[in-house]
Chains A and B, each alone.
Chain A
Amino acid sequence: MNRFIQKSLVARLVSTSLVFSLLGVAGMGAASYLVGRAFLRQAAVDRLESASRQKETDLGLWVEERLRDLKFVAAMSARELSENPSLVERDPERLLNPLREYIDAQPDVREVLLLAPTGGRVLLSTDHSHVGGYRASYNFYTQGRQGPTVQSVYLSPESLRPILTVSMPVKDASGKLLGVLAVHLGLERIDQIIRSRAGLGETGETFLVDSSNILVASGRKGFAVMGRQAFTEGIQRALAGGSGQGLYLNDAGAPVVGVFRWLGSYQMALLAEMSQAEAFASAGQLALVSVLVGLAMAALLGLGVFVLSRRVARPILAVTRAAMAVAGGDLSVRAEVMTKDELGNLAKAFNAMTSDLSGLYSRLEMEGRERGAILQSSFDGIALADKNGTLIYDNPGMQRLFGYSVREVPSLAALADRIFASPEDRQSFVVNLMSDMLQENPPERVFPFQHRDGGQCWCRMRVSRMPGGNVVINAQDVSALKASEERVRHMALHDALTGLPNRQLFSDRLEQALRRARRNNAGVGLLYVDLDRFKALNDTFGHAHGDRVLVETALRLKACVRESDTVVRLGGDEFVIVLPDLAGSKDAQAVGEKVLEALFDPEVAEGRMFLGASVGLACYPEHGDDQDSLLARADAAMYSAKRAGGNALRVAGTLPTV
């Protein structure tokens, strides 16, 4: 449910408006209850006030009535006593009878007494047992001697019940005190007054409490326990001499609205109370009605908000749906423009934005495709690596170059493992590239590697940094270039006809041999070979034959020497042989002898090929310690042999120094 509310705009709007309107309804209900309650409380208090005032008046009237009765009885008694002063002793019944009749007529009168003018002796009483007792120290007696008196409610010593006594003097015509007449009044009549519920509603009641908290009279139905004690807030406040009103719990613990007044002349508290439930019932109803109305309004409001939010939400939902479709990748979707207000503008703006986006997207897509095609069709290898050397991308050129794809070699180290045989190469490849990644302008690396198909290839590689830390690796297959380089170099150092090293390479080789001999304390032999009568042969049989002789000579010379020896064609029919690492010149002479033997072979081609050669030998260190001197000595020695008729070997040392 909550999830639904969170996801639906309409539900959110409706629920939020409902929550606030319900709060409002609660507030309104509470306010109307409180206002109604305050109003009703005042109304209840007014009713109770007037009822209690009425009761107080009734009480006053009742006491006055009894006092009037008493005056009548007193006047009658005075008349009798004046006529016959000794009537009390002689014929008390004559006086008592009317009193008894009076008591019978007035059930609230408990006892009528006639007291002696002095000493308070009870002369006559409707309760015979009291005759002869004394009431001297009673207030109703001492005051009653002076004039009509109402003694406020007190606890009767005889009955231990609250009573009220009215008393007055009995005087003869001359004003002489003949006695005091007193009437004890029971409080049943008060009960009647109190019980009358006029204006007090269903639960209203009044009651009287005397100064010692004793319930004198109560209006509660069936409340027969007069004389018991009662404690309530209203009673306490009234007994403290106050009058007022308040809300408190009554004697039975029920909450009431109460009005209390202290009746000083009776020494009693009069309370009028009404249950709060009754008094405030209308407030509850008012609150209920206002809450119900409020709820209906809230429901209407909720409906209104629902309709409105649906109308407001529909264009928004249309835009939302379109936006979600766009987010899902469908840029062709357009939001429907339903209104001409801000929401309509929103939809238009959204559509404009979407079409811009769509254009941009297709341009980007095309560009991407182009870039991809460039990468894909580039012959050079292009790869993308992060700064740790992990390979992210490689193009077909790269895969072609090494024979591996990124899936197989996920990193530079893995690549190195595949394409290099030696651990050193692998390590230096990785280390070099990693350090190149950090440089602003890294060098170009050219290195040989082993292709997946086993071929040895050359690669030229360079890394360049991209924004964001990754690097682009560019690589080219330079094997062909390398091969042609090698060919050129060979051509520069070798004789084109025989394939033998030429003079330039000879110089290198001799120099190396000399350096090594000096270091190893060894010897180097240099044989200078010149074919005999080659010019004649050439002239006789043509240059092509001469060339064939030269090629054959080269083959034969090579067959005479060790692998480490170098046979060089200096030009024309002149050859030199460098013999490094010799133990002595004898070895060189032996080689020279073999050369002579190889080049003199008249049987071959009917004597048109190997007609002998003149060979000069110079050795390091015996005959010279550098190239020039050695070559010159060997040349001289060969020349000497040539002059001697050829087909001979001459050693340099045997000739005088040039």
Chain B
Amino acid sequence: MCAGSSKLRKVLACFLMVCALALLAVCSRGQNADEEFRIGLLLPLSSTPALSVSQRAAMSLVARVNAGGGVAVGGRRLRVRLLVEDTGSQVERVMAAAARLISQERVAALVGPYFSRDALPVAGVAEQSQVPLVSPSASNPLLTKDRNYVFRVCMVDTVQGRIMARFAREDLGLRRAAVLYDEADAYPSGLARLFCEAFERLGGQVTARESYTTGAADFAAQLARIRASGAQVLFLPNFSKDVVRQMTQARTVGFSGGFLGGDSWGTDSALRDLAEAEGAFFSSDYAEESLSGQNRVDAERYRKELGVPLDKNAALTLDALGVLLAAASAVGSVDPVSLRAGIASLRGYEGFTGRLSFGHGGDAVRSAHILVIEAGQARCRKQLGPAQ
């Protein structure tokens, strides 16, 4: 019996062991992914204008950071993970993309959207979710107003409207200006209003304020009224696709004055190549020729890598990403709340678009340029420091 019972005991022990192992296998699940710095990039790729250069520049920067071991954060080196979402041109899609990045991908920060019309609704989500958002180029003043988590790298439309108004009034010595803008889009409508206010404050006269809504292609009626108003200069704060038509049609209706524009002009080479655009001025955050030192070397490298020169949006994208990485290093954390504090206290970041500092709300304190289109090139006409 002795031998029999010890065999029986072995069988029972085996049975119990198998049960225990099965239980263990069922229970032991779950693992911890390596910590990384997850950044969402919201930019239009499938719609016009598509910012593929910005996307490639951003990916190139991230790849280089990761090749160097990642970004130094609180004594560790974290890999940077860039999660790109195509926003298209529809608000619903932007909202869904932003919600997905925040809620599902759980990014630590967002770069983008680029256009105020997209950035404004997304800013609300970012603010509510307490995820820092750094827009490279959305310039509408409302974007950062009363918000803690929303930042921008580019200059604000109030500044832009003011410097263009001053340039027209003081540098060019003009007294009568007119505006034509897309009233359905936040950026043109906002910038047009701000220009007009500044120009009138400087003693100028806005002779015509003409508007249209997104999708319009015929501006002859508005342009005829502008010509009739006697304006010396026409401010076109619209996207370049519209601006090209508007310049051509303006000359057609006999408008002979100069053209002024905002930073939206800087994205499209079609505009620079336009004969009617010769001599037109526009404000910009970025001027390739004003680059110096390491930034010039880096810009040259990007030009080689991307096959095209860095454009304004790509430069702003790199700066927005750079601001995030610098903030993470400075606070030693990629926690969204800490990151926000890091951005808000960042001073003197040397970006491709100039020296950037935060501290007064979400808008970067930065320099600006006024470019002139000459023989298909945008040349720097004037550089303005942060104070101006």
A interface residue numbers (CB < 8 A to B): 2, 5-6, 12, 16, 19, 23, 116, 118-121, 134-140, 142, 151-152, 154-157, 160, 165, 210-214, 229, 239, 267
Contacts of B96 on A, CB cut-off 8 Å?
A: 154-155, 210-212, 267
Q: Are B214 and A19 in contact, CB atoms less than 8 angstroms apart?
A: no
Q: Does B125 contact A (CB under 8 A)?
A: yes
Q: Are B213 and A139 in contact, CB atoms less than 8 angstroms apart?
A: no
Contact of B213 among A5, A136, A229 (CB under 8 A): A136
Question: Which of B97-105, B156-164, B168-176 has 4 or more CB atoms under 8 Å from chain A?
Answer: B97-105
Q: Are B125 and A160 in contact, CB atoms less than 8 angstroms apart?
A: yes
Contact of B185 among A5, A136, A210 (CB under 8 A): A136
Q: Does B345 contact A (CB under 8 A)?
A: no
Q: Interface size on B (CB < 8 Å)?
A: 38
Task: Report how far A71 CA is from B1 CA in the complex, Å.
Answer: 88
Q: Are A155 and B99 in contact, CB atoms less than 8 angstroms apart?
A: yes
Known: A139-B91, A140-B92, A157-B95. A119 touches B103 (CB 8 A): no
Q: Are A160 and B103 in contact, CB atoms less than 8 angstroms apart?
A: no
- Interface class of chain B by DSSP: helix
B interface residue numbers (CB < 8 A to A): 1-2, 4-5, 8, 11, 15, 89-93, 95-96, 98-100, 102-104, 117-118, 120-122, 124-125, 128, 182-186, 212-216
Contacts of B124 on A, CB cut-off 8 Å?
A: 157, 160
Contact of A212 among B89, B90, B99, B122 (CB under 8 A): B99
Contacts of A160 on B, CB cut-off 8 Å?
A: 124-125, 128
Q: Are A142 and B2 in contact, CB atoms less than 8 angstroms apart?
A: no
Contacts of A154 on B, CB cut-off 8 Å?
A: 92-93, 95-96, 99
Nearest A-chain residue to B120, judged by Cβ: A157
Contacts of A16 on B, CB cut-off 8 Å?
A: 4, 8
Contacts of B100 on A, CB cut-off 8 Å?
A: 211-212
Q: Are A155 and B214 in contact, CB atoms less than 8 angstroms apart?
A: no
Nearest A-chain residue to B101, judged by Cβ: A212
Given contacts A118-B213, A154-B92, 4 further A-B contacts (CB under 8 A): A6-B2, A16-B8, A119-B216, A140-B92
Of the listed residues A121, A134, A140, A214, the one surrounded by the most CB atoms of chain B closer than 10 A to its CB is A134
Of the listed residues A137, A138, A157, the one surrounded by the most CB atoms of chain B closer than 10 A to its CB is A137
13 contacts between A and B (CB under 8 A): A2-B5, A5-B1, A6-B2, A118-B213, A121-B183, A121-B213, A134-B214, A136-B214, A137-B91, A137-B185, A154-B96, A155-B96, A211-B99
Q: Are A239 and B91 in contact, CB atoms less than 8 angstroms apart?
A: no
Q: Are B213 and A116 in contact, CB atoms less than 8 angstroms apart?
A: yes
Contacts of B212 on A, CB cut-off 8 Å?
A: 119
Q: Are A151 and B213 in contact, CB atoms less than 8 angstroms apart?
A: no
Contacts of A229 on B, CB cut-off 8 Å?
A: 103
Nearest A-chain residue to B11, judged by Cβ: A23
Task: Report how far A472 CA is from B120 CA in the complex, Å.
Answer: 125
Those 9 A-B pairs whose CB atoms lie nearest each other, nearest first? A119-B213, A157-B121, A212-B99, A136-B184, A134-B184, A136-B214, A139-B90, A212-B103, A119-B184
Task: Report how far A474 CA is from B92 CA in the complex, Å.
Answer: 128
Known: A157-B124, A211-B96. A120 touches B213 (CB 8 A): yes
Contacts of A2 on B, CB cut-off 8 Å?
A: 5
Nearest A-chain residue to B90, judged by Cβ: A139
Nearest B-chain residue to A117, judged by Cβ: B213
Of the listed residues A5, A136, A152, A239, the one surrounded by the most CB atoms of chain B closer than 10 A to its CB is A136
Task: Report how far A212 CA is from B182 CA in the complex, Å.
Answer: 32
Nearest A-chain residue to B97, judged by Cβ: A212
Task: Report how far A38 CA is from B121 CA in the complex, Å.
Answer: 49
